[in-house]
Structures are given as C-alpha cells and as structure tokens.
A and B are shown apart, each in its own frame.
Chain A
C-alpha cells in the first residue's frame, strides 16, 4: 500500500496537519504568527548550510530554525519593536538563504521543492521522519501542556504557581523548530506558517476550552491535508498550496457559522 505515492502523500499530509495544528494554537494564543514565519524562513538558511557542508538536510534545518527562534526569543523583551524586527529577520533569512543556496547548489537541487514542498515525492523514510517528528512534537506539547497554558495566560501567574514560564517557552521553541523541519517536504518553507495558524484559527469558533481548540485544530489540519491533496489530484494544482487553501476554506466556514449564530442569539 505504501508503494502508492498518493497514499504516502496522504499519510504525510495528515501527519503534518495533525501535529502542526495543535502547536499552531500556541502560536495564535501567544500572537507569534510572525515568529512562526521567521522560524520557517530560517529553514532555507539551514538548507544552504547543509549544501555547503554536504551534510543531511534535516539536522541543519532544525539547527537553523532553532537558532532563529532563539535569537528572536532573546531579542524579545529587550526593547526592540518586535513587529519590525521579525519582519526584517524573517525575510532576510529567506532571501539570504535563497541566495546562498543558488551560490552553492549544483544543478540537481530543486529550490522550488523547499519553498513550496514536494508532497508527491515523499518517500518511506520521509514518512518515518514526519511521523516520528510529529509524535515527538505532540508528546512534548502534551507533556508541557498545563505549564505552557498557564505561561501563555500570564507569566506571573505561572511563577506564583511554581511554573517557570521561560522553560515552557524553550520547549515550545524546540517543538516549533521540529515541526518546521519535518513539514518542509509537505508544504514548503513559505506555507508552513499557514499550516500552524490557519487550522488553529479555524478551530477557534468551535471551541470552549483550550483542549477542544487543539483537538479541533488537529482534525481540521488532517482534514485539510486530505481534501487539499484530493483537490490537487482532481484539478491538477500544486499540492502544498491546495492544502493551505482547503484549510482557509474551513476557516471561512467556521467563522461565518459563528458570526451567523452570534447574530441570532445575542450574547448576554
């Protein structure tokens, strides 16, 4: 069964959709959308690094993403205007990465595959990386769930309850770098941030608790992957962007339903 490329693509898509989405909830709650973007864009630098050293891509990408995430985390709270700074760093990483790749690369490397993903070319070992990485990320998030949640609500409340918000932040950063690294193959560097943010935002109107939102986001992420892939097959469109479009459609539907409901029953 795994011999069929569509089956492998579907498994990869569901794996990424279902793991990036719960993590994406924290990205949304902590208003880190740009942070996710910067981390993802740094992955291109990782690709360049791997090419320069002729080393495997995955560890280099994890390293670059972690470095970017740590740099941003360190700079935060030192009086920089984060909005601008993140914009500068995210796009610099992307541009510098692409320049570096084109300088180093031999003709065989397909830069487009890194930018937009190449889900139809997912191999068995890629699947192993995606599901292994995904399981690690979900495990990390589940283990740190309460600590992350209280630190997200208010760092001082976390302190008073004996939780170190900085530690929780480090785990979150690590999980983010991991997701970025394993998701490159599926949606590409440019659209990873979308798979973090959109399913989480789509799940928001349906949820009453953080747990419901994370579970809903995972379901929506998985569903978007499958339906996007199907649409790409039928319409002959690129797979990664089709998956993101599917997630956006779910977002439009849940948000509209919520707005209509709110109009019928005014909130007290």
Chain B
C-alpha cells in the first residue's frame, strides 16, 4: 500500500511538474545569477535559444528599467531564503519590452543554493493598467482644474463626492461632511432654501451668494444645483456647482481690499463690543469684543434676538430704553448713550454703556449697537459715591458733634455765672469737666479715625498678648472695669504680621465697647468678656464676646456707620469706634461680623489675612 501511494505521489509530482513546465515560464539560476536551466516557454517568450541563455546572467534580475532599490530588496529577500514575488520587466532578444509577474523561490540542492523563477507574461495587462492610470490621472487633473467646485450631495447636504479641495479642506476630508459646514453663516439661509427646493420640486436652481475668505475679503459665488435622477427616475442626490464670480461682480480690487480691511478691523476690535441687529432685533454681526464680553461664539448667537443679551431683571426697562433709542434714530436724532444691564452666557451680569446707530444697506435697516463694558468704572463710581457719602456724613456730624460739647460748656458757664450757691456751683463745675472730657474723647477718636486712613504703617510681627494687656491697662479707669471677668485666650504660635497700631486700635475699640455695654454686677450676673485670638498660617481670627446689653436687631446693620449710636442709656459714645474698626478691617482686606441678642450679649468676630 505504502509503495503504491509513494509511486502515485511521485507520479503526480511528475505530472504537476510537467503541467507547470508546459504552461509557465520557468528558469533556474545559481547563487550568482547565472542561468542553469530554462524551459521551452521561457525561450519562446523571450525569443532566445536555450544555448544562448545557459550560463549567462539573467537579464530579468538586473533590468535597467527598474530602479536599483527593487533589486536590492529582491536579492536580499531570496538570499535570506525567502520567496519573492513581484512584477519585473525586461526585453526580448529583439528589444521589445516584456512584463513578467514573477515568483522566485530559493531551493537547496546538494548543499548548493539556487533559485527557481516562475514567471507569467502580463505585458498586455500591465500596459492596459498603465493606460488606465494615465487616463484616470488626466481626468482627475481635468476635474481639479475645472474653475468651479462640484459637489454631489444628498438632500440633507451631506457631501457624497467632490472634484477638489474646498475652503482649505482636502477632498477626502470633505466627503461625508455637510456642505453647510463650509458655507458662511451669511449665506446659509439662501443655500439651504435652494437645496430644499431642488429636492422638493426636482428642478435645477441657480443663485448667487457671498462668503468671506480668511483675509476677510468678500467673495461672490454663483451656484447651480441640479437634481441627479437614478435609472428609475428617483432622486437621491444633486450636483452642486459653485463658481467664484467675485471678479465679475463689478467690484474693483481696491474696493474689495477696503471692505476686507474694514471688516477685519471690525472683527478684531476686542475693546468695544459691536453687535449688529436687523430691523427685527435679530443679531446679524458679532465681533471679537462681543464674544469676549458675552461669551457666545458667533455661530451660537447669530440669528438670536438682541434681548437675550440683556439682564432678565432689567429686561423691561432695557427694552423701553432700546425702543426709545430706535425712535430717536428714526427721527434722525442722534441717540443718547444709555446704560444697560447686560448678562453673559454664564449668567453673570454687567453694566454697559450702549450707543445705537442705524445703517441702511440695500433698503434694509440694520442697527449697530456699540457697547462698552463699564463694570470697573461702575464699581469705582459706587465706591466713590459711598466714600463721598461717608465724607459728607463725617463733615455734617463733625460740625455738629464737635460743637455740641462747646455749646454745653457755654450753657453751663452761663448758669455758673449767676450761681451764688457754692455747692450748686460745684455741681455745675463737675458737669463742665465731664462735658470737656467727652469733647476730648471725641476729638481723640476723630484723630484716630484719620490715623486709620493714613496707610503708611510698617508691617511687624504682632504680639497679641502685648496689645491686649496694653489695651486693658489704658481702659482700667473705665466704669465697671473692675467687676468684669476677662477671659483671655491667645494662641499666636504661628507668626502673624500686620500693622501693630491698627491691631491696637481694633482691640481698643472692641474691648472698650464691651466694657461700656456691660451690665452691673449682681448676685445673679457677673459681667464677663472673652477675648480669643488664634493665628494660622494665612490668617488670624479675633473674637471679642461679652454678656452685656446686646444690640437691637433693627440697628445691627448700622452699627459700623459713622456716628451711628444704637444705645440710648446715657452711655458715653460718639459713634466712631466701630466705624474705625470696620475701616481698618476693610483696609487690611479682612472681614468682620457681629452677632448679638438683647441682654444676652454681643460677639464680634474678625478675620484678617496674614501679611
């Protein structure tokens, strides 16, 4: 059985070999490329005799038609013992070119390496392919050189094919995108309308539109859209042809350059906000400044109503102001600059100065709104107003309050002059001394207030223990002082740097207030004042808490105002202390808060940044 199979196989091998021999161009070469064997078909195809070839080098493997790299690669491959396939070209004996699809297989026989080369004549096919390639190239060049852009699109505007790149997009990148993505927002409407009509009415449409190039130059285009019918009369695509007709539009180059210049200027202005709206109040133009100020990109905002930019809470008054401005313009009166409250995309509100002008182009009225963000100016203005108010109040009250002790003293003196009774005179003198005292305290406080405004103090490490002790010492003469239980907790391990004089002033005023508004000691009540200081790396918290009279809730907002006094129980006070504290805290970028309950006590909490 085995023998039969063996024979059969070798017989089959022989048969196969002979088939290949008869039908393929076969040659065998040795390691050096010399021909050892050629079959009949080889000789017939290349028109050589066997004797002419044997022992010679095979032209096929060194033909000058191909570049050197191909042969290097070929020899490298087969020397390494791998099979090589490829198209090779050579010449027949009569000089005619011939192209062979070739397989080279390395083979070992008796320890010597040789190569079997099986080829197939593909001259005709190859020539055809080359011809096809050339014609394809020619038609591509033809399409690309066409002075117009041609697209094949679906009814949704999806690009199925195109003849060349458009708007700096390569052909490949254009396919499968939507044609509307490549057309300026100015012309979107007209383009879409025409495409829709072509697909709906199955007719060709011709129209013109414009766009801007990257330099801002206005370009005009003529476009034809034609439906493309399938063999069954269906309509699945349309051909769009776009032709740049800018040069024929009757606009000179200078004019176009000028327009481009203005457009670029307008687009790039980022200080002023410029918005152009049509007569229906829809936004049509949007510059860089507007984008920066409002946060909307051009594509987001175009076509939306102008009112979207104004603050909701002010919308009604904004619209009234707007309508008024439009009316003025219609009557050829220059509209005034109005202030509006606007709103950003993120909801933030900001004030603008708003000037409106109208433009009339092609019988259509547009309105150009020029806006200027005035948040900074506004906040400065408000600050200034507050300061002016403070100052006015200061002057008004100072004029009064400074005079008051003098008037009292004068009154007392008038009485004193006519008082014969010595004891009664002594009472008047005591009163006089008290009056003068309060006048002195007032002027001291006033000079302290002005000291706070002078900012040229040096920063130093603050020793809170020192300050608190010093303050308590100076206040030790105050009424009720000796009854008060002071609880002092100071943790200033973390070094805190600030202005010592101002720190002193804060403690002086807060502790003085706490003493002034303490209740008398009784069996049931011990007046006490907690002073807590804790320093951290970035800030310090100062808490002064008392269990005294407390502040009426109605007045608590006003206690930091200049000359405001919420007490009425003959407590000496001139309404400057907390004003000073508040000013110091604000000046150091800190914060102060107060909580209080009548007859329970008051707590002031201050946070100051570590300098």
A and B pair up: no
